[in-house]
Structure 1
Amino acid sequence: MAACGSPSPDSPTGSPAPAAAPTRLRAAFDLEAHRGGAALTTENSLAAYSRALDIGVSTLELDVQVTKDLHVIVSHDTRVNEANCRDTSPAFAGDPLYPYAGKPWRLLTLAEVKTLQCGYQVDKAFPKQNAVVAPIPELADVFALLKKRGADNVSANVEIKSRADDLEVTVPRDVYAQRTWAVVTAAGMSDRVTIQSFDWESLKQVHAIAPRARLVALSAPDYLQVGSPGASPWLGGVDVDDVGGSLVRAAKTIDGVVAVSPDFTFPVDAAMVAQAHAAGLTVIPWTVDDAGDMSRLIDLGVDGIITNHPDDLRKVLQQKGIAVPKPHPAG
């Protein structure tokens, strides 16, 4: 490729050639609504995912937990968030676990979970958020919403929230993987779902039961632990220092991984994007909410962006002449 700013050989005036469009591995840019678009509507709620479909996104990004009776629910926190969820009544008289607020999801049955009402508090980071009070949804409910809207071209990026630094707070990794993938396959969504996690051992567990599952290696410097003695507990046995401190090279050692998803301040730069693409991995940084950052990352050639502001990302893409996803409004 010619150096930037060199005269175009086809230009009689010798004016600079336009910059070449970055090469991406995806045919279409992946616009992912983080927790459904948390800047707009209560995160990880059916209302948020409905709003995201109204706007038009490629992918619904969401977090899952597994209950005591092995139901897969949608929540970021490993425990019931006391600031955002309220108890209504016990699932049965004399329930020793009541009140449920503050308890790990793994200790609660679905019946107990369904008594909770969540969404009372507007996230301080998003003062314009529409707070919607509702029960915690199940993963199957999100898939049912996609079907109801006829959103057959919309994917789901499902995050397993196991914690390598606190394995007791969630169900065991193998159970987490098995139950999550069971819901995916029961809904016929296996070709439209990626499974992501900061805990790469959980990605390995998914691959063990579903070798064709598409996996995404989430990370940030605190998880990679470059320069620290031994392997980070988050990387599934990989010592990042054995691969030159490279997120891409570390992720490539995990079978089934098709993408890296770094904190966008990692930094995500042209070298990282080029290295990932050369390894056959897409780059989907998180969580990008500033239009200037969105524009810069798009120009670097990232394959998608996870954002709390899917409406703003659509505008940036349109300004750059990049096709945006079709909306799927309620009938």
Structure 2
Amino acid sequence: MSISQLDAFRGGDKLVRIVGHRGARGLMPENTLIGFEWTLSMGIEALEFDVLLTKDEVPVIVHNHHLTASTTRQPDGQWLPDLEPAIAQLTYEEICAYDVGGIDSNSEYGMRFPEQMFLSNIKVPRLADLLRLITQPRFSRAVLMLEIKSDPHATDPKLTRTRTVEKVVQDVRNTGLSHRTILHSFDWEILAECQRIAPDIPTSFLTQLPENDDHVGEDSSSNFGKHLQNAASIPDLVAQAGGQLWCPYIKDLAAKDIERAHQLGLLVITWTANDINDIENAIDLGVDGIVSDYPGRVQHALLSRGYAWMPKPLENQEEFPRFPGAAAL
């Protein structure tokens, strides 16, 4: 556990880390540079986001394996029709023709996030764009929980996994940010490739038991949980697979599993906690960190207990830079 980026996800006495989910999806357009910059500028050090490869093998930050109708506008400003093109079938240049700065408030997905800002002229970012953003001195403490998605429609899944991991790791290494990145996935075969190709970068194992309902408007991850259904101890499986972090779904949290994970030396970061009762329960159970679309809700829950989400700065160490003018907000 000597790898430096793990410390940014490590909890402690009255310390629970906060991870901004897709930036801060509840408030800002998800998986966008402006959303990431806003979240970091408000003092959230860790980001969780999703990466896929385009047709021309450019790693881009997108959650679903297709452009999503409820969050994508065409060049004429109209919402994308239901026939949603696959990311793997579009070049990066073709993807740049679309605007992902808003959410359709009349869609089922949009109804989940009525407070999200509506922006225009926002493009799907490349992974390299976000990596360059956090090389700025003001974001020198930012860390990335980089989720690599598994393409269910790949004609050669093994080759696709390998090429995706290779391209992602290449981008991370090109910006010198291996020490600030964690590789993260539901697909444990992808994580095995991560360990083979980049043994110096920690791996984070996402889990969701298959009995949970899928989330409206999002690609399902339930297929990846089938092997966990009758497992005696999921943390033991994660440790045996070489993971350093275990990331269980918020509805699957159990005290005995968190205790066991900590006994095994795993950090426990739960996703995605938006409801205040879920947030409070996660804190009670002793997780190391909480992934949320609403980082502010987690902040207030922690503050009400006298907890923090960042350790106190060392002597002569500056606090995390904030958005210009934040003191006046």
Q: Normalising by structure 2, what TM-score?
A: 0.79
| Aligned ranges 1:88-127 → 2 under 5 Å | 88=75, 102-122=84-104, 123-127=110-114
Equivalent in the alignment of 2:240: 253
Equivalent in the alignment of 1:135: 123
Equivalent in the alignment of 1:289: 274
Q: Quick check: 151-160 or 24-33, which moved more?
A: 24-33
2:1 pairs with 1:35: no
| Aligned ranges 1:252-331 → 2 under 5 Å | 252-255=239-242, 257-266=243-252, 268-325=253-310, 327-331=320-324
- Opposite residue 329 of structure 1, the aligned amino acid is R
Q: Distance in 1 between matches of 2:182 and 2:284?
A: 24
2:187 pairs with 1:205: no
Partner secondary structure for residue 166 of structure 2: helix
**1:206-254 deviation per Cα after TM superposition (whole angstroms, max 9, x unaligned):** 1111112111110111199xxxxxxx9737xx95478x43211221221
**1:258-299 deviation per Cα after TM superposition (whole angstroms, max 9, x unaligned):** 111111101x12211110001111111110012232122112
CA contact (8 A) 1:149 1:328 kept: no
Higher helix share: 2
Distance 1:283 1:127, change over 3 A: same
Equivalent in the alignment of 1:222: 210
- Opposite residue 102 of structure 1, the aligned amino acid is E
The alpha carbon displacement at 1:327 in A equals: 4.8
**1:27-84 deviation per Cα after TM superposition (whole angstroms, max 9, x unaligned):** 5532100000100111111121122112211311111111121111111010111232
| Aligned ranges 1:151-190 → 2 under 5 Å | 151-163=139-151, 165-168=152-155, 172-190=160-178
Q: Distance in 1 between matches of 2:84 and 2:156?
A: 12
The alpha carbon displacement at 1:305 in A equals: 0.4
The alpha carbon displacement at 1:125 in A equals: 0.7
Partner secondary structure for residue 158 of structure 1: strand
Equivalent in the alignment of 1:64: 51
Q: Distance in 2 between matches of 1:223 and 1:104?
A: 27
Q: Distance in 2 between matches of 1:246 and 1:112?
A: 45
Q: Which has the larger radius of gyration?
A: 1
Gapped runs of 5+ residues in structure 1? 1-23, 90-98, 225-231
Match of 2:224 among 234, 251, 268: 234
Distance 1:193 1:240, change over 3 A: same
Distance 1:316 1:206, change over 3 A: same
Q: Distance in 2 between matches of 1:64 and 1:168?
A: 19
In angstroms, what is the RMSD of aligned CA positions?
2.8
Match of 1:191 among 179, 185, 194: 179
The alpha carbon displacement at 1:168 in A equals: 4.3
Q: Normalising by structure 1, what TM-score?
A: 0.79
State, as a whole percentage, how many aligned pairs show the same letter.
27
Q: Distance in 1 between matches of 2:250 and 2:171?
A: 30
Q: Distance in 2 between matches of 1:112 and 1:62?
A: 21
CA contact (8 A) 1:80 1:100 kept: no
CA contact (8 A) 2:72 2:98 kept: yes
Gapped runs of 5+ residues in structure 2? 1-8, 105-109, 213-221, 311-318, 325-329
Query: 4+ runs of 1 displaced by more than 4 Å?
Result: 168-171, 238-242
CA contact (8 A) 1:74 1:136 kept: yes
Equivalent in the alignment of 1:3: none
Q: Distance in 1 between matches of 2:127 and 2:137?
A: 16
